[in-house]
Amino acid sequence: MELQQFSSEAQFSASPTLEHLLKRDEITGKSDDYQVLDIPNTSSSIPTLATFLLSFDNLTYNVKVGPKSTFACCGNNTIVSPNKKTKSLLNDITGEAREGEIMAILGASGSGKSTLIDALANRIDRHSLRGSVTLNGEALESGLLKVISAYVMQDDLLFPMLTVEETLMFSAEFRLPRSLSKSNKKVRVQALIDQLGLRNAAKTVIGDEGHRGVSGGERRRVSIGIDIIHDPILLFLDEPTSGLDSTSAYMVVKVLQRIAQSGSIVIMSIHQPSSRILGLLDSLIFLSHGQTLYSGSPANLPRFFNEFGHPFPENGNPSEFALDFIRELEETPFGTQKLVEFNNSWQAAMNSNSNASNKPSLALKDAIKRSISRGKLVTGAVATIDVNLTSLVPSFANPFWVEVLVLLKRLVTNSRRIPEVFGVRLGAIIITGIILATMFWQIDNSPRGVQERLGCIAISISAIVYTCTTEAPEFIKERYIFMRETAYNAYRRSSYVLARSFFSIPSLIILSLVFSTITFWAIGFSGGVSGFFFYFLTTLATFWAGSSFVAFLAGLFPDFFIAFVIAIATTSYFLFFCGFLVSRDRLPKYWIWFHYISLVKYPYQALLQNEFLQDPSKCFARGAQIFEQTTLGALPTSLKNDLLTSMGNVLGMNVTGSTCILMGKDIAKLQALTDLNKWNCVWITFAWGCFYRILFYLTLLFGSKNKRK
Ligand SMILES: Nc1ncnc2c1ncn2[C@@H]1O[C@H](COP(=O)(O)OP(=O)(O)OP(=O)(O)O)[C@@H](O)[C@H]1O
Ligand SMILES: [Mg+2]
């Protein structure tokens, strides 16, 4: 399909540049007759001189393997130093990948394909990797590499309930600059859908284990699509064809060929390419135990093995023969060492024959500028004169607030398609509310009622925090998508944390309102409408703090089970130390710090003050009621009245059956509830929520580096 639809004006230039496109957008407000990107279908527009050349020299990567620590228990308790061996994952790998070409890395499982891709894509810590990776002779700075490259992971991490078109559109909104009109972004997405052969699946949801969606091959292509939407200069893919049937695999590689021909370098790993796929590849690297066994074009492969002394049969797939032969060699006592040495001498001979004019003449900065002016790398980059590389290509395509809005829109769209997630939380809160309401139905103002109030409020607050733990799976599932997207600067981590927080607020308001309405009136808490408002606000603050706390734990422990267990256990400890079981003044000194970090303490104290201090002189025990819950409670009323009179005589005051013995303010004092006033308790609860969101941000910042050590 022909993708280009230039207006007559545009046809004067070779291709519409981004600058041109942006200007047109500014002047006319629309430019629907333009194609955002120029990805040609025919090889006629393959650049005659490659602008980009990625070179990697002597890449070596070793890791320490073996038990983490070995302790010898031999009577004298000496500690033996860790017994670790060094394993070489990459051993002196050298090669070149040029613009317009697909370089494929082949080898058996465990040969080091993914490791080499990680090394090239700067996903291995600089201190661990030896050797150099340069683009046009210049070492790639990590920030720049992030914006000019894309890495397509082996797993498809996508929002299951978005359609193919929506998924690509959201990616366009993240990766393409705001200055590009929405209609242009749509045009780009439609072009990509056609290019990836996804037209028939465009309106189908991605799906997951629970929902039927697009096929595996289509999902793979969507994963590639979201990473190439901004037309990166360098594209790394780890086994993009794994798990696909031969036709789907061929289609994927065909798409990659077109991307390469539009001015990119494509580097991918592949297990066993079919003959058709082999015909699309421009250069191959065969690996075995992290060493290069062959590096060169597919056409030279039979000649190479022929010269090594192992000719291939005339017909058949040479890559298959090569892989089979390598496997045979690996099983021999000398392994593949001879082939490694032969390859080194063969490479040396080839290099001395090739002429040096193949090297790109442009410096990296000029090459990137030229690429941008040809319509590549649509990330808000502007090919202006005299700027350094980092200001040439901005780190993020959009400002912070645009990212927050797009993320919010995506969260809302996805969650509206899976209402059951919120439904389960709402159901849990309704059931908890009904149980509490019926259990503590219309509590009276007696000493027993006081105890029931304390218990009811402590349990309610803890139940709210417990139900927040149901959010953990959501955070953890999303974390992997987040890691994929932020690894190559689709958006800022802070935008995600803010969007996630804004997104949770409406649902927390609904949950708080439902819980407050069910429990407040049925239990008979005091304060009327203003008391209800305060109760609702405290409940909301608790939901907010609980949900932020769970987000933080999910950020800290990406394993769902661990996050869940720690959330449940910590919430229980919060309850232990909130002041309900043991009041603050009776807690052992060394536990007092836990009392102050307990998320249950503040809302618990706020609601008790709302209950007992709205009217501090409200009476909760009159006359003989003080004998309740003691053995004296069983005495006849007349005897109890006599006892009261005698007590009054001793104290020198008149104590009768209607004298108030226990007031609200007495309970507050007895329960040590007066260190903070109720409004401060609510604000502190909100502040805890904000604090945990900041910690959540920090866990994402430091915990999602995506790099091997
Ligand atoms: N951190 C590590 N510690 C020890 N060995 C490791 C580590 N990471 C990778 N390896 C080993 O390095 C080798 C290469 O791994 P790599 O993932 O690159 O293989 P691969 O060629 O991509 O395999 P596959 O085709 O199965 O994906 C494997 O033997 C693997 O077990
Ligand atoms: Mg791999």
Cα of 113 from ligand 1 centre, angstroms? 8
Query: If you count them, how many residues does the chain have?
Result: 709
Q: Please state, in angstroms and rounded to a whole number, the distance separating the CA atoms of residues 654 and 644.
A: 9
Mutation probe of ligand 1 site: the residue of 89, 116, 123, 124 with most atoms within 8 A of C-beta: 89
Q: Please state, in angstroms and rounded to a whole number, the distance separating the CA atoms of residues 346 and 80.
A: 47
Ligand 1 atom at shortest distance from the alpha carbon of 271: 25
Structure tokens at 211: 């929902």
Ordered alpha helix ranges (H), 9-82: 18-28
What per-residue confidence (pLDDT) applies to 116? 94
Contact assessment for residue 54 and residue 99, using Cβ atoms and an 8 Å cutoff: no
Q: Is the pLDDT of residue 79 over 60?
A: no
Contact assessment for residue 54 and residue 133, using Cβ atoms and an 8 Å cutoff: yes
Span between the terminal Cα atoms of the chain, in Å: 45
Contact assessment for residue 298 and residue 273, using Cβ atoms and an 8 Å cutoff: no
Contact assessment for residue 248 and residue 240, using Cβ atoms and an 8 Å cutoff: no
Q: Please state, in angstroms and rounded to a whole number, the distance separating the CA atoms of residues 138 and 136.
A: 6
525 residue type, one letter = F
Contact assessment for residue 633 and residue 550, using Cβ atoms and an 8 Å cutoff: no
Q: Is the pLDDT of residue 80 over 70?
A: no
Question: Whose CA is closest to atom 12 on ligand 1?
Answer: 89
Residue 43 phi, psi dihedral angles, 5° rounding: -80, -5
What per-residue confidence (pLDDT) applies to 615? 85
Ordered alpha helix ranges (H), 231-336: 246-261, 275-278, 301-308, 318-331
The torsion of the CA quartet 5, 8, 11, 16, rounded to 10 degrees, works out to -60
Enumerate domains of the chain plus CATH numbers: 53-351+363-392 (3.40.50.300), 401-618+665-703 (no CATH), 625-662 (no CATH)
340 residue type, one letter = V
Question: Whose CA is closest to atom 13 on ligand 1?
Answer: 110
Selection from 5-14, 67-76, 626-635 with the highest mean pLDDT: 626-635
Quickly count: other Cβ atoms within 10 Å of residue 514's Cβ. Answer: 15
Distances 84 to 10, 69, 70, 101, 245 between C-alpha atoms, Å:
63, 8, 9, 41, 42
Q: Please state, in angstroms and rounded to a whole number, the distance separating the CA atoms of residues 443 and 524.
A: 6
Structure tokens at 240: 């993009």
697 alpha-carbon distance from chain centroid: 11
- Tell me what percent of the residues of the chain surpass a pLDDT of 70: 85
Ordered alpha helix ranges (H), 524-636: 528-556, 560-576, 592-597, 601-612
List CB-based neighbours of ion ligand 2 within 5 Å.
114
Q: Is the pLDDT of residue 293 over 50?
A: yes
Q: Is the pLDDT of residue 295 over 50?
A: yes
Flag the least confident range among 256-270, 387-401, 480-494: 387-401
pTM of the model as a whole: 0.79
What per-residue confidence (pLDDT) applies to 433? 95
Question: Whose CA is closest to atom 16 on ligand 1?
Answer: 112
What per-residue confidence (pLDDT) applies to 685? 97
What's the alpha-carbon Rg for the chain, to the nearest Å?
34
Q: Please state, in angstroms and rounded to a whole number, the distance separating the CA atoms of residues 181 and 697.
A: 31
What per-residue confidence (pLDDT) applies to 497? 95
What mean pLDDT value characterizes the chain?
83
Q: Is the pLDDT of residue 183 over 70?
A: yes
Mean per-residue pLDDT, 311-323 = 85
Q: Is the pLDDT of residue 12 over 80?
A: no
pLDDT digits (tens, 9 = 90+) for 191-250: 889 888 889 999 999 988 778 889 888 888 899 898 888 888 899 999 888 877 888 888
Ligand 1 atom at shortest distance from the alpha carbon of 154: 27
Question: Whose CA is closest to atom 7 on ligand 1?
Answer: 63
Mean per-residue pLDDT, 698-704 = 85
Question: Whose CA is closest to atom 28 on ligand 1?
Answer: 110
pLDDT digits (tens, 9 = 90+) for 450-500: 999 999 999 999 999 999 988 888 888 888 888 888 887 889 999 999 999
What per-residue confidence (pLDDT) applies to 43? 40
3-state class of 614 per DSSP? Answer: coil
pLDDT digits (tens, 9 = 90+) for 418-442: 898 899 999 999 999 999 999 999 9
Question: Considering every ligand atom, which ligand is closest to the CA of 709?
Answer: 1
Question: Whose CA is closest to atom 17 on ligand 1?
Answer: 114
Q: Please state, in angstroms and rounded to a whole number, the distance separating the CA atoms of residues 304 and 311.
A: 9
Q: Is the pLDDT of residue 389 over 70?
A: no
The torsion of the CA quartet 538, 543, 547, 550, rounded to 10 degrees, works out to 90
Residue 76 phi, psi dihedral angles, 5° rounding: -100, 10
Mutation probe of ligand 1 site: the residue of 60, 93, 105, 113 with most atoms within 8 A of C-beta: 113
Contact assessment for residue 153 and residue 75, using Cβ atoms and an 8 Å cutoff: no
Structure tokens at 459: 């349990």
Using the 8-state DSSP alphabet, how is residue 382 labeled? Answer: -
What per-residue confidence (pLDDT) applies to 50? 63
Residue 222: name the closest of 178, 189, 246 by CA. Answer: 189
Q: Which residues line ligand 1 (CB under 6 A)?
A: 63, 65, 87, 89, 107, 109-115
Quickly count: other Cβ atoms within 10 Å of residue 196's Cβ. Answer: 24
Cα of 234 from ligand 2 centre, angstroms? 19
Q: Please state, in angstroms and rounded to a whole number, the distance separating the CA atoms of residues 473 and 149.
A: 31
Q: For the residues of 202-214, what is the DSSP string, one character each?
A: TTSB---SSS--S
Query: For residue 70, what pLDDT band results from cuts at 50, 70 and 90?
Result: very low
